[in-house]
Structure 1
């Protein structure tokens, strides 16, 4: 529903403050997700011991992916809760669940200590995190869209993704510091847990920020909030737009997890470059991602979502594999920076546009559920599967540039979705009424 009687509804006092409070939970989510990917070789040795290093790494990335399969469940269950009870209360609940998963992974004993119970605990932690993450991103994106000033929805929603880049930067910086002060043997034995512990220590600060979050005027202005059954029915009635939204988000999720979670392992195990260089490039990517996201959102506010979405997906489709082939043929730090900056540009411009587009095409009265479900399916089935898929492709084909094929498929999905959603220059219509 559109906002009505706005003069009778309390307005957001400070939009900048609201952005910071809303996106704080995204920081924790991506901070932990990146750490899990970056320290995957250490986690593999701690929880999935194997004589075959690739097999152990695949097990670790497999658990990373299985956790993401809980995202659609969280999107439906928690999304319905947020659409019914409110954005503010819902985002506090998702943060509590996310914090629980982070603590479980941080304190889980190793396989050498408790045997098979160790990987089971890590899996439980990832499942809990995935359940929360299923709606965290969607809930924050919807919140930012609903407090946006007229004509700036793309710009505002882009800060959901930009906030995640701050987490990537901080996690990378901690990794560099840890590598400088501790020998690799100690990091492998127990030092990798330190960044996770730091993540646990900042949880209370994020809770304080979230508790002071104001409800959005648009939600307060709604005359009727749907029941859980009505949310589920409406989401089912709009399954086509949810499916297209998923395809639209595939490009975002696959590119993001490639340039952040998978890149450190790719640099160290495939390119055989120093781990320090992987961290340095990841920090640079986080900074440029932070910049490109709002630029993409603002540009799409001015010229429309469709042109930006199509231009970036076309560029990615044409250049992803050639760029990786050029990099892997003779790996250098300079080449790694060039390729990292290229994918950062693609991700930032596309993500900053896609978030605003997805908020606009899903039904407003079940906005959180449909947005979260579409994004959760993209992240669960494709995005978080990227490290596993990329590792498997290299092992199966022996072609170090083969992950580029996965990136091309993601670009093709995004392009097809944009063309179908914006047929004839207009976005497809959704069913605002609940279908029994």
Structure 2
């Protein structure tokens, strides 16, 4: 009997290899997301031409956000699939959908070539990416949690977020090289009315990476914890459980909001903020973003490891509290007399907040959602945070600055996220321990 059980529940041969294979799909997701934000101005001209630069930029960030609204749908549909069929197969499916969206955006002709069809096609590509992204983070986080060693769950899950920083780093390097080595906006003219626009080159690189990521994902082992489950829920049971645990999902969303808003501010929006608002050079904005990716990568596992030792609650409350009292003053100091050094200092502060908080938050979410529908509820909580707040950050920041005339006003958006995080953490961990219990729902 014991031998049969051992055969049915294999151990992960190499946890480092498993981490690399599991997180590879995150690379493609964040690589594309960052490029869309970094080249927002160029993409706006290609697909959303307008005499008003701000209106054109808002249209671009609007499409970016609309794609994110597909995240909750993807979290429920694909999350239910992963909770029923398995982590390995589910992660391969999500990568396939993400790859299609990437190719669509990379090769879509410009508005000058096919008119209104161009922004429609780009929107469809973003919707596919958002649908896949809705469960990618949750699926990978759950996978890492289920292969983690005892007492190190926060540390293991933190590599989900750290892997995204590698994508930001590579994308920033590509953008920097192109901006310095290739003059003008077009490399050569044969694709649509904008030729081979410089912004397309990194997207083409992303397309070339897809086969490598597929190979890595196909070699994933299923997690022992999933194989050990005596019963896997049906789709109807998954949906019923998600509804029954709506309170945990909402609290999880509130905890994740500070992660998503800070992340999209320091990565996707920072290049636009540096160039269009602070009037710094493209090279300066890219260099800051590149350094942020490096420090994000470092702080994530640090946050996860610290929370494994001292608990999730103290870390969550400390970072959220610091963000609440420093976000606006730091940005006000930066915009009063913008320099590369000041921008770097402020972004390093936000990077510390994001990385430490994110590394802790991922472990928190895995632990508070019900085990039998872990992927669905985790993904739904994070997808709602990303869709309603995180990916809305570039749009909200642009809108706040335009409406208020205060270049530091995005700080209010980050402060709001911090308040929600504090309320949720205090609610979940009342009295120093988890006070909100999940409910298992099984069909009769």
TM-score bin (small chain): over 0.9
Partner of 1:266: 273
Partner of 1:20: 20
Alignment of 1:382-397 (within 5 A): 382-397=389-404
State the SS of the aligned residue for 1:202: helix
Residue 434 to residue 186, structure 1, CA distance change in 2 (3 Å): same
CA shift at 1:7, angstroms? 7.7
Distance 1:136 1:233 in 2: 22
Q: List alignment gaps of at least 5 residues for structure 1.
A: none
Partner of 1:364: 371
State the SS of the aligned residue for 2:186: helix
Contact 2:24 2:217 in 1 (8 A): yes
Distance 1:349 1:62 in 2: 29
State the SS of the aligned residue for 1:184: coil
Partner of 2:437: 429
Distance 1:11 1:138 in 2: 22
Alignment of 1:235-384 (within 5 A): 235-384=242-391
Aligned length: 433
Distance 1:318 1:305 in 2: 21
Contact 2:244 2:441 in 1 (8 A): no
Distance 1:128 1:59 in 2: 18
Residue 363 to residue 382, structure 1, CA distance change in 2 (3 Å): same
CA shift at 1:6, angstroms? 6.3
Distance 1:283 1:277 in 2: 10
Partner of 1:232: 239
CA shift at 1:191, angstroms? 1.2
CA shift at 1:425, angstroms? 1.2
Partner of 2:169: 169
Distance 1:137 1:84 in 2: 17
CA shift at 1:213, angstroms? 0.2
TM-score between both structures, scaled by the size of structure 1: 0.98
Distance 1:7 1:35 in 2: 44
Deviations 1:302-337 (A, max 9, x none): 000000000000000000000000000000000011
CA shift at 1:426, angstroms? 1.4
Distance 1:116 1:424 in 2: 56
CA shift at 1:181, angstroms? 1.3
Partner of 2:136: 136
Contact 1:102 1:125 in 2 (8 A): yes
Distance 1:33 1:5 in 2: 42
State the SS of the aligned residue for 1:161: helix
State the SS of the aligned residue for 2:109: coil
Deviations 1:214-233 (A, max 9, x none): 00000000000000000000
Distance 2:142 2:441 in 1: 19
Instruction: Give me the CA root mean square deviation.
Output: 1.2
- Following TM superposition, the consecutive aligned residue runs of length 4 or more in structure 1 with deviations greater than 3 angstroms are 4-8, 433-436
CA shift at 1:435, angstroms? 6.9
Contact 1:394 1:403 in 2 (8 A): yes
Contact 1:393 1:402 in 2 (8 A): yes
Q: List alignment gaps of at least 5 residues for structure 2.
A: 188-193
